[in-house]
Amino acid sequence: MVEIAFIAPLLTGIIAFFLGGRSSRPLLTITGALHLLISVLIWSFRPGAAFPDYFGITPEGLLSLLVISLLFFMISIYTTAYLAKTEIHSERIFTGCMLLFLATMTMVTLSDHIMVMWIAIEATTLASAPLIYTHRSAASLEATWKYVLICSVGIALALLGSVLITLAMDVGGVYAPVSFSSLTDVAEKLDPFWLKTGFVFILVGYGTKMGLAPMHTWLPDAHSEAPSPASALLSGVLLNCAYLGIFKTNKIMQAAGLGDFSGMVLIFFGLASMLAAATFILKQTEYKRLLAYSSIENMGIIAFGTGVGGIGAYGAMLCLIHHSLIKSSLFLSSGNILLGYASRLIDGTGKMARLMPKTFVAFFGGFAGISGFPPFGIFLGELFIVIGAFRAHHYIGVGLFILSICAIFAGFANHIMKISFGDSGVAVKFEENATMVWPQYALLLTSVVLCFWMPETVSQAVMNAVNSMGGGF
């Protein structure tokens, strides 16, 4: 009965649409808590699915499910305080879409059928589009338009890729259910030409959604125009969901003995994303776009690590988990900054260390984490990926990898210093109440704790996920 995990938020989401005014606010936190409970129960009891043809539990799905639940719970707590401080045009649509968004993302983590996966990922686009348009400005309209059109076209290519994989079954004369698990079992019999073509289309399609360059153009616009809690969800979990689609297809490729081909393609897109992010971060003028480009960089790192394989795949998995925790905390802090300075521009901020000390601690801590300082998990992840790339003799690739990480760190640090300690003539009218700060602290703390002590069952799930795509120590 794993389906309950996405049916529950689906129902509360529909209810939220019919509630007037502010009465829908508590629904967010209640559903968040309920969803977290369901996830923990699924994690500990591993129940079967009511429709095993379409849904199932996999280690990578379970990991993502737990991350989604935890993030959504924290974000929902922040959102209640955030909504009290901002004017939002139609609150019930915002709340309803947040919950539907949660439902569709949960569906992605649990789906095992190739086409159901596609349906769920396309549904995440549709559920999150109204969130980006929350502020009803011309710029947010443009961002929503780009988001829906670019992602729909991208995901249509992923649909073609999925159809081509079923074609690989037909041509190879395989008669099995069209699910990722059964396809991985029979992968060797699939027609390699159509499997490769399908993989490339799926990578380009879901890669659009994941924010891989050169299909990333919607990402900075959408992340900067959406209200901060929605940006945190987009960056923290939506990108992971798209990655899950690529991960599972890569698993089929590995099982079919085409891991070298899929690895090369992943490394190419990964490096392209990192280089693109490095170029744009250096001359960035808005802090939310800065964070968005950092997400593109991290998705590039994850794709690169997955492509490298071996210990690099383990590093990619670590980066995936820690990026979600840290980046969503950063986006929540950016919401505070926007409320305080009423400007999206880096030049419009300054002296944050003195004016907003609590947010400063969260923001600076998040910066340290995302740029790969040792106490946080991204450091370990990147280290493993570099080691893995050296072991696999990708010397040029690893050179570009390290170069772009350095450039991004330099650019990022420069902007963060300006925000934290630069001059500012603005009077900040923002009271830092506890509910708008401690969710960020909690997320960062989780990341630090996971680095030193990972519960046995979690580390086992990470290892299983990595092994299933041919990685490991």
Q: Which parts of this chain interact with other proteins (CB under 8 A)?
A: 54, 113, 115-116, 118-119, 122-123, 125-126, 129-130, 133, 138-139, 141-146, 148-149, 152-153, 156, 159-160, 163-164, 166-167, 169-171, 178, 220-221, 224-225, 280, 283
Q: How many CA atoms lie within 13 A of 281 on its CB side?
A: 29
- What is the distance between the alpha carbons of residues 326 and 376, in angstroms, rounded to a whole number? 9
Shortest CB 380 distance to other proteins, Å:
32
Kindly tell me which of 148 and 326 has the beta carbon lying closer to other proteins.
Answer: 148
Least Å distance, CB 166 to other proteins, is 5
Q: Which amino acid is at 287?
A: Y
Give me the least distance between CB of 142 and other proteins, in Å please: 4
DSSP of 117-177, one letter per residue? HHHHHHHHHHHHHHHHTTT--HHHHHHHHHHHHHHHHHHHHHHHHHHHHHHHHHHHT----
Residue 103 or residue 436: which is nearer to other proteins going by CB?
103
* 425: exposed, middle or buried (Cβ count in 10 Å: 0-12, 13-18, 19+): exposed
Q: Tell me the β-bridge partners of 286.
A: 345
Least distance in angstroms from the C-beta of 217 to other proteins: 9
Output 49 or 141, the one with its CB closest to other proteins.
141
Residues sharing a CB contact under 8 Å with residue 142, sequence separation 6 or more, in sequence order: 221, 225
- Smallest separation, CB 157 to other proteins (Å): 8
First to last CA, the chain: 34
Q: Which is nearer to other proteins, 286 or 432 (CB)?
A: 286
Our CB check for other proteins shows the closer of 120 and 451 to be 120
Q: How far is the CB of 279 from other proteins (least distance, A)?
A: 9
Q: How big is the CA angle at 128 (ends 124 and 132), to the nearest 5 degrees? A: 155
The residue among 32 and 172 lying less far from other proteins, judged by its C-beta, is 172
Name the one residue in this structure whose structure tokens are 């729909």: 152
Minimum distance from residue 283 beta carbon to other proteins (Å): 8
d(CA 396, CA 275): 13
Nearest residue (CB) to other proteins, 130 versus 350: 130
**Per the structure block, which two tokens stand in for 183?**
């396809």
Distance CA 43, CA 467 (A): 19
Between 288 and 322, CB nearer to other proteins: 288
Q: Which amino acid is present at 22?
A: R
As measured in angstroms, the least distance from the Cβ of 122 to other proteins is 4
Min CB(131)–other proteins separation in Å: 12
DSSP tag of 235: I
Q: How far apart are CA 339 and CA 437, in angstroms?
A: 13
Comparison of 230 and 389: residue with beta carbon closer to other proteins: 230
